Amino acid sequence: MIRAIIIDDERLARNELKKLLLDFPEIEVIAEAANAVEGIEKIDSLNPDLIFLDIQMPGKTGFDMLSELERAPNVIFTTAYDEYALKAFEVNALDYLLKPVEPKRLADALQKLQIEEDKEPLSDHPISVNRSILNEHDQVFVKDGERCWFVKLSDIRLFESVGNYAKVYFGPNKPLILKSLNALEERLDEKVFFRANRKHIVNLRLIEKIEPYFNGGLLLEMKGGEKIEVSRRQTVKFKEMMSL
């Protein structure tokens, strides 16, 4: 059973979608929200597997709402004709439905979702683990200007502190998110993400090379070619962890 939340500011649009979803017994609509603030509340309290998300809503847009979430659930966007949103979808290959929704397109979108879940069954997530710690299979929604991405934490090789922001390195991209490195460190799984120094958190699984450095420190070369120095203090910790 896939537990879903519908977020749309129009009651009729939500009703219409619920009606369409009656043909898909595997989807259970557990809640509805009429704006981004309500949406965030319900996502945090109910932890759904999937959300249907309208882009244009009063207050915050759907994109803004997602980038505020610690961990992004699976999302299917819904929108009437909206040039700005359509452009975002084209650029980022996000899955979206145009209102009025065609039942066939809805079936395709759900199908795609299920294939992805088969690859990584939801049950894999250890439910007993404290939910505030992000698993490496978790994805985050990152928005930088017009571009946005769903990124698996396991694909992020490096967080770099830039003032109040953190630069997130994955693939060829390095967008900025409004989060401090300290806040990130608290939420990240310390078995995977390691604070190398004051300015960097590295993904231990995406290190290419380790070299000794001045003062008994280390120099890490990441898969993307970035060279990160490990402070002397953290080197001790790093060696401890790696020697296991």
Partner 1 sequence: MENPRFDPSRTTSGPLIPRMTKNGSRYYWWCQIGGWGTLALLLVLNSTTLEQKLTHKDVEIMLITVLTGILVTHVFREVIRSSGWALLSVEKAIPKFLLGIVLVCIADGLIRIGLADALGLSSMKAEFMTRLLTLTADTGVVIVPWTLIYYLFHYIQISSKQQLDTFKLEALVKELELKTIKAHINPHFIFNALNSIRALIDENPARARTAITELSNILRSSMQAEKLETVTFEKELNIVKDYLALEHIRFEDRLQVEYEIDEDTLDQPIPPMMLQTLVENAIKHGISRQVEGGKVRIVSDFKDDYHELVILNTGVLNGNRNSDGFGLASTKNRLQLLFGQKANFDIREVNDNTVEARVLIPVDMSK
Write 18-21 long-range contacts (CB < 8 A, 24+): 20/101, 20/103, 20/106, 21/106
Q: What's the rounded Cα separation, in Å, for the pair 204 and 238?
A: 10
Q: What's the rounded Cα separation, in Å, for the pair 195 and 233?
A: 11
Q: Which of 3, 28, 30, 37 binds partner 1 (CB under 8 A)?
A: 37
DSSP assignment of 109-152 equals: HHHHHHHHHHHS-GGGS-TTS-TTSBPTT-EEEEEETTEEEEEE
Q: Which is nearer to partner 1, 97 or 207 (CB)?
A: 97
Instruction: Tell me: does residue 144 bind partner 1 (CB under 8 A).
Output: no
Q: Which of 2, 13, 50, 196 binds partner 1 (CB under 8 A)?
A: 13
Q: Which of 35, 47, 154, 197 binds partner 1 (CB under 8 A)?
A: 35
178-207 residues near partner 1, rule: CB under 8 A: none
Rounded to 5 degrees, what are φ and ψ at 86? -60, -35
Q: Which is nearer to partner 1, 9 or 144 (CB)?
A: 9
Q: Which is nearer to partner 1, 15 or 114 (CB)?
A: 15
Closest distance to partner 1 from the beta carbon of 68 (Å): 16
50 and 42 Cβ atoms separated by less than 8 Å: no
Q: Which is nearer to partner 1, 101 or 140 (CB)?
A: 101
Which residue in the block uniquely carries the two structure tokens 């994955």? 170
What binding mask, one character per residue, do residues 92-121 give for partner 1 by CB under 8 A, x or -? ------xxxx--------------------
Q: Which of 56, 92, 111, 182 binds partner 1 (CB under 8 A)?
A: 56
Closest distance to partner 1 from the beta carbon of 59 (Å): 5
Reference 20, options 7, 10, 11, 29; nearest CA is 29
CA distances from 10 to 67, 73, 80, 104, 186 (A): 22, 22, 12, 22, 37
Q: Which of 44, 46, 80, 173 binds partner 1 (CB under 8 A)?
A: 80
- List contacts with partner 1 (CB under 8 A): 9-13, 15-16, 19, 35, 37, 56, 58-59, 80-82, 98-101
